[in-house]
Each structure stands twice: as C-alpha cells, then as structure tokens.
Amino acid sequence: MASGLDTQKLDAVFKSRPDILKDIHKAADTPLQVQLFNKIASFVYEQIGEPRSGSSLKRRRVDIEPSQNGNTPTTTASAATIEDAASENILLEIKDISVSIPQRKKFELCFTPKHIYARAPNTTAPIPGIVYAWKEIEYAFYLPVPEKAQVQHNYVLFPRNSNSLSKSGAPTEDPLMFTISANAPKPGSIGGPNAGAASAVSDSYSTLFHWAIGKCLQAAGNNVQIVTADSAKFHSKVRQPHRPKEPAVHVKAFRGSKDGYLFFLENGILWGFKKPLLFIPLDKIAAISYTSVLQRTFNMVVEVFTGEDGDDEATEEIEFAMLDQEDYGGINESYVTRHRLQDRSMADQRKAKRELAENAKGKKGAEDGEDANGHADENGMTELERAQIEAEQQLQDDEDEDEEDYDPGSEGESEGSGTSSEDDDDDDDAPGDEMEEDDDSGEED
C-alpha cells in the first residue's frame, strides 16, 4: 500500500531524517493514511520549497525565525536606523560576546556615538534587529545568571517599546541581552579608537562594559543608570546548589507555563531570562498580594497600572507561580513592606514621583534658566523647577505624616531606606576618560 506515497516530495522533505521516512512507509498501510502522508509532504514542500540538503533546511529555519514577541528582526530596527548606525564611526568594538536576545549567537558589539549594535565576525554591517539608539534605552541591568557553576552575568538593555505590562499590548521591540564571564577580555578582543582608554578598565568584562555603556549613555544625554542586584537588600533563603556560599539574589518563579527567575531590584521587579522579558517599575505597581499559599509554594500577584485607553487608573494583574515558601518572608518583609507595595495606599505617591521625573526630562528641551514662556524668575529658577520643588516638599510632608503613624515593629529601619539609588562602584572607580569619536577614524578607509 505504501507504493501510493509521493516518494519524491517525501524524500525531499525528510531527506535528512531517513528514520522518519522508514516509519512513514511502514505506517502507510491504508489508503487514508497514504493520502494523509502525501498531504503533509505536499504542504511542507510548498512552505519551504525544494530543500537541497538537511543543513540548508536547518539554515532556513534559523534565518526566518521570528522573535517570541511576534516581531521579525526587520521590524525591530528600521532600515534607516541600520543605515544611520552603519554610517557612524565606531568608537569601540568588543568581540566574541554571547548574545541571547534577540538572537542566540556570538557577535561583535560595536559602540558608536549614537548606537550600540551587533555584527557578525569579519563583517561590517549591523545585524537587523540588534541596533539600539543610546537615547532610546529606558532601563539597564546587570544581573547574575542563576544556577551556573561558573560566575556569569547578563547585561539587559530595555529600549522604549520593548516592555509591555498589558496583556493586550505586545512589545514592538526586543531588549538586548548578552552574557559575560567573570574573566578579563581576551587579548585582541577589543578594538576601535577608544581601545586604549578601554584597556585601563579591562580588568574584567564587567568593568569594561559598565564603563563603555555608562559613558555612551551619558554622552547621549540619557541619565539611565545600570541597576544591579544587592544581596544586602534582598536575597533568597533557598540555598544555591552550584555556589552554596553565595547568597542568591533571584527567586524561581513561573510566568504562565514558562519557568524563570524574579529579581527584586531597587527600581522594580524583573522576570527573566526567557522571552519575553518583563520589567515592572516600582512606580507602575499598584499593589502586591499572594494567592495559592500552600505548604511549600505560593503565588504572587502584582497589580500594575497599564494606562490602557488613556486611563491612568486602569490596572491588570500579573501572576507569578510556584515561588518557594522559604522566600515568602524575605519577599514580604525585605521588599514588599519596605517599599509599601502591600496595598494601594502609597501608589499615588509612587505615580507622583514618576510624573516629576518625566517633567524633569521634558525640561531639557528648553534652554537653561528659562520657564515655560522662556523667562526665569529673580532667583534664576524656572517655573518647572519651582513646581518640582513644591511637589517634592509636599510628598515629603505626606511621607513624614505616614511615618508618624507607622510602626516598623522588629524591622528597626525607617521606611524608604531601601529606595535610595545605588551608585555603581565599578563606574565610580573607572577612569574619567570619555568615549570620544576619533576625527581621523572615518578618513582611514
């Protein structure tokens, strides 16, 4: 009965899998099964065209694989953005970097005055989908890779539109995530006009990238800081089997069917490291509660402001499941209570602080010393600066009133002590050399 099979198309589609062909011939013992196998072969054949070999079929799958956010690489970075980045002089290039998102592959990372992008070895063109403007970076993180015997860290850069808190709105871009070891860069892996300045901060990959990313963000007028996990402020109670003497700064948690890790950071909660990554800023959190509290696990529900349809009060719930009971006390006391996330009473103050920060950014568009109408007062203060100071004073007065009624119990620390921002030690200790564009670098070629 197997003689009725379309062997030409079956051989073309499954040439690299003779075991499957053998099973098909064995199973095709009725006319209906023969017809079914022929339909499957025809469909696959039409989708991929005539494959010449198993290796070419594999390459084709890799080339067209879209991101799990539903975006193809070409939509992430427009052709114009790629051309802009390619036309700039490269300030610094670092070879053999393991990129995980948007694509899992080793690339060279190139730093230009306005962009960071990846390119394949021995090429000059940026990889579509891995081109990011410094001014568009909204969040930056440096976090340990969990459950690794050797110490590794992930850098995660979120550009705008790469992080969505609403279930109805998928991110339109992918963040950039790449992994580094604790070692120093290999000789010859750093190039570009700023390689000399970079060598002074190349004791390790982390000091190199903290310096390079920090300087480029600063030069682009972007005040985003690289946020790291601080075990002194939060760490898991669960012992790490791979590095038992080192406190873990992550908590295992499921998001839907995907397993991952939660990081409780100074500016919000990050879930990674599988696509799509998710970051929930503190000022977007309305409240945190717990469900399905069992003997060994519990679920955490984060109510977030989504701003859907222009409604600032619109919220949705994001649930993380199967957290270990050992971590309940640390999460609830060291993070949720410290940041007053257990109810919505403090949500308005967090939102007000965010609005103040956004107003401060908007002020940069005007000339220094001018108000909204282009005039400064007798003290040299703009109208926006006066409004900001008055709003901050009002927030401080409200917090003082709340603290008078608040009993910290056995914690013995004042509220908000964990909300102060961390200064990056690596960045502070780095030399003050700026990432500068070499005027002659563009004339050599």
Q: Report which secondary-structure segment, H or E, holds 329.
A: helix 328-329
The answer to whether the CB of 357 falls within 8 A of the CB of 224 is no
The confidence band for 13, taking pLDDT boundaries of 50, 70 and 90, is confident
Answer yes or no: is pLDDT of 51 > 60. Answer: no
What would the two tokens of residue 394 be? 């009002």
Specify the pTM.
Answer: 0.67
Closest CA relative to residue 221, chosen from 137, 162, 116, 118: 137
Stretch 106-113: mean pLDDT, rounded? Answer: 98
Closest CA relative to residue 142, chosen from 162, 127, 156, 121: 156
Rounded Cα gap, residues 39 and 10, in angstroms: 10
Amino acid residing at 34: V
pLDDT value for 442: 47
| Count of Cβ atoms closer than 10 Å to residue 125 Cβ | 12
φ/ψ of residue 333, rounded to 5: -90, -45
Stretch 97-111: mean pLDDT, rounded? Answer: 97
* Torsion angle of C-alpha atoms 187, 189, 192, 198, degrees rounded to 10: -60
Q: Which residue has the higher pLDDT, 196 or 309?
A: 196
Stretch 78-106: mean pLDDT, rounded? Answer: 92
Classify residue 310 by its DSSP letter. G
Answer yes or no: is pLDDT of 168 > 90. Answer: no
pLDDT value for 370: 43
Stretch 241-263: mean pLDDT, rounded? Answer: 94
Amino acid residing at 62: V
Contacts of 308 (CB under 8 A, 6+ apart): 166, 168, 169, 314, 316
DSSP 388-434: HHHHHHHHHHHHHHHHHH---TTS-S-TTTT-SPPPPHHHHHS----
The confidence band for 434, taking pLDDT boundaries of 50, 70 and 90, is low
Q: Please state, in angstroms and as integers, the Cα–Cα distance from residue 228 to each residue in 28, 154, 423, following that order.
A: 58, 10, 10
The answer to whether the CB of 270 falls within 8 A of the CB of 277 is yes
* pLDDT (tens digit per residue) in 275-332: 999 999 999 999 999 999 999 999 999 999 998 767 778 899 999 999 999 999 999 9
- Cα diameter, the chain: 97
The confidence band for 208, taking pLDDT boundaries of 50, 70 and 90, is very high
Rounded Cα gap, residues 269 and 371, in angstroms: 36
* pLDDT (tens digit per residue) in 358-412: 666 655 554 444 443 444 445 555 444 555 566 556 656 655 655 555 454 444 4
Tell me the range of 69-73, 107-111, 163-167 where mean pLDDT is highest.
107-111
